[in-house]
Chains A and B, each alone.
Chain A
Amino acid sequence: MIFYDFLFIRFINLILDDQIYGFIDNILKCISFTKNNLTLINSCLAFRIIIIKIDKIIKEQNVFNILENDKENLIENINKKVNWTNILIIITKICLYLFDHVQSAEISLSLINLVTNLIEKCHFQCDGQILDSIKNSSLINIISNTTDEFRLHAFLDMFKALLIAFPSSDIIVQLSLKFITNLFRVSNKTIILTYI
């Protein structure tokens, strides 16, 4: 059994064999080729799983020190080979489009969390193009039409991440004010106060 594990693992590790970067590129290509909302949703969800899995390996405490030492190389390698800025801009555009079309609460939550994760992960590489995408989107209208609290919480997390990532941006301050004003109309004040 162990022997098989070792044999298997020779071709199983996606990160160390660099195949993951090929998959990330292919998903981005799929997004640009497809006109189908279902494929767009599945592409975003695939990205979410990849990011969650990579973060889990990086953040988890390992028993073996060798892995701890190699984590830095792994993080460096990932940041070098993956163009997070490009991913953030493309995924944000797609998610902003999908927010308007997806009715399932579970999928919406996953998409909002994906954008939040990406903002937290790569804002330092981003030159603020994402803010223009948000400004030109109908995000505020979508939020004003949202009534369920789970989605509102997720949107609040997203704005929190944006404020931390771009504290000096005029756009984000304006958007946040609009966002909170809209939120007062649709939600109870306690949710907002916990975040302020």
Chain B
Amino acid sequence: MDTYSSNNLHWQGLYKYTIESLFTSFSSVTLKCTKEILTIFFNDSPENNYPVFESVIHLINLMPILYNKLQITNKNIIDYTSFFQKIEKHLDINKPYGESLLNSYVISIAKWCEILISRKSYMLYFIFYIIYDFL
């Protein structure tokens, strides 16, 4: 339980606030960098450098929070389906990083549900299909 209550939360919080302040103060540059980082994430494998892979997952998991705070718009949010598929592809409990990736995967689901299961998304989904049918 130590890891949950002390070091882990401390570093995650620091990371989160750093990225958030970067997005607030230098949004265009940070977004550009984020896109570069995401390219690495989608083309790379966790076996090569797992700490980097996990850091990118943390970065992607900040997107729902930033979206809720209106710091990024819809067009800058990644396709969550590809993101989850990428993690699921590498989920293997027998690998050295397996347990950690499993944990990151579960945390990612929780973070993304914040915006994916919401009244706003539910309503917009219906409005979109009504307009789509009408057209």
Contact = CB atoms under 8 A, between A and B. Distances in A.
Contacts of B119: 56-57, 60, 62
Contact of B88 (A26, A57, A66, A104): A26
A53 B5 CA distance: 25
B29 interface: no
A53 to B, nearest CB: 4
A10 B77 CA distance: 13
Interface string A34-55: 1111110111011001100110
A195 interface: no
A46 B113 contact: yes
Contact of B4 (A1, A14, A41): A41
A57 B109 CA distance: 18
B102 A33 contact: yes
Q: Max chain B CB contacts within 10 Å: which of A14, A49, A101?
A: A14
Interface string B88-106: 1000010000010011011
A67 B106 contact: no
A31 to B, nearest CB: 9
Interface in B77-135: 77, 79-81, 84, 88, 93, 99, 102-103, 105-107, 109-110, 113-119, 121-128, 130-131
Contacts of A102: 1
Contact of A57 (B4, B117, B127, B128): B117
Contacts of A23: 84, 109, 113
B121 A13 contact: yes
Given A13-B125, A56-B119, A38 B3 contact: yes
B77 to A, nearest CB: 7
B68 to A, nearest CB: 13
B124 A54 contact: no
Interface residues on A, range: 35 or more
Contact of A45 (B8, B99, B110, B130): B110
Contacts of A43: 106
Most buried by B among A20, A26, A70: A26
B75 interface: yes
Given A26-B88, A36-B99, A104-B4, A49 B114 contact: yes
A178 to B, nearest CB: 27
Given A39-B99, A57-B117, A66-B126, A30 B105 contact: yes
B73 interface: yes
Interface of B: 1, 3-5, 8, 73-75, 77, 79-81, 84, 88, 93, 99, 102-103, 105-107, 109-110, 113-119, 121-128, 130-131
